[in-house]
Amino acid sequence: MKLICTFGLFITLASAAKFPADIPQCKAADIQCLPRVITDIVHNHPNGHQGLSIPPLEPLRINRIDISQGSNSPIAIKLNFRDLDLSGISQSVINRVVGFGADPNSSKYEVYAVVPKITITGKYKIDGRVLVLPIQGEGNAHLVFDNTNLVVKYKPKVVEKNGKQYIQTEKFQLDFDPSRLNINLENLFNGDKALGDNMNQFLNQNWKEIFNELKPAITFAVEEILKGIINRIFLKIPYDEIFLKD
C-alpha cells in the first residue's frame, strides 16, 4: 500500500508563556484530574485557545490523502481524497491517562479517549475493485465514524529554550477504532444512481473489511493532526509550568 497525506496545520516555536489563568491546572501524574481537565478544554474551546496555542478544532483540514492498494489486496484501488474537513474532535471524552509525571525524561505519556462521532467530508476520486466488485467515480465524499476509540502514546523529547525545558513528541502512536463506519460517495459510475446506490449499500454492509484495509491511511492522517496539536501546546508552555506545584 502506498499513501501520501498532507495537512493544513503548522507548528511554530512560540516564546515562553505562562499557563493560562482561565484553564484549570492539575498536579503532575494526577490521573483523576487530567482526564477531566483535558476533556473540558476540548469541549469548551472548539475554536481554539490562544493561550495554549491550540488551533481551531472544528473543522480540522486535511489537504489530501492518496491511497494506492495493489492487486493482491481485497481492496485493490487508487483512491484520492482532497480538501477534507474533519469534525468531531471537540466532543472527545478523555477517560484515562497514564504518566504525565513531573520529570518528562522518566514519564509515560498515554491518553485514552472516545469520540462519539467523527465526520470527514471532501472530494474523492476512486478507481479499482472493492472485494469482488469494480468501483469508479469522482465527487463528494462523506464518511462518519461512530464511537471511535482513540489511544495516543508517545515518548518525550526534551527541548531547551532560554533556560526552560519544553517537550515534543517522539515515537508517536495512535490506535483508531470506530464501532461503525458509514460511507457515502456521490457520483459513482458517472452519476448512475442505481449503480451508485447499490455500491454505497455494499460499502456500508462490508464496512469492517473496508476499514481494516484503509485503516493505516486514516490512522496516519488523524495521527499527524493530533501530534501537531500536542506539539504546539508543549512548545507554548514550559513543562514545569504546566502542572500545579505541590
Task: Quote the pLDDT of residue 11.
Answer: 43
pLDDT in tens, 220-239: 888 988 999 999 999 999 99
Rounded to two decimals, the pTM is 0.88
Query: Rounded distance, CA 126 to CA 132, Å?
Result: 15
Query: Rounded distance, CA 70 to CA 152, Å?
Result: 29
Tell me the three cell numbers of residue 37. 481537565
Cβ 197 vs Cβ 203: under 8 Å: no
Given pLDDT bands bounded at 50, 70 and 90, which one contains residue 95? very high
Task: Quote the pLDDT of residue 10.
Answer: 44
Q: Which domains does the chain have, with CATH numbers?
A: 8-60+100-116+142-241 (3.15.10)
pLDDT in tens, 106-146: 899 999 999 999 999 999 999 999 988 999 999 999 999 99
Task: Quote the pLDDT of residue 9.
Answer: 47
The amino acid present at 222, given as its one-letter code, is V
Task: Quote the pLDDT of residue 14.
Answer: 44
Task: Quote the pLDDT of residue 149.
Answer: 96
Task: Quote the pLDDT of residue 101.
Answer: 93
Question: What distances in angstroms separate CA 59 from CA 135, 137, 227, one per listed residue?
Answer: 29, 25, 16
Return the closest-CA partner of residue 243 out of 113, 97, 112. 97
pLDDT in tens, 50-70: 999 999 999 999 999 888 887
Task: Quote the pLDDT of residue 5.
Answer: 56
Given pLDDT bands bounded at 50, 70 and 90, which one contains residue 12? very low
pLDDT in tens, 181-230: 999 999 999 999 999 999 999 999 999 988 988 888 888 888 988 999 99
Tell me the three cell numbers of residue 119. 465526520
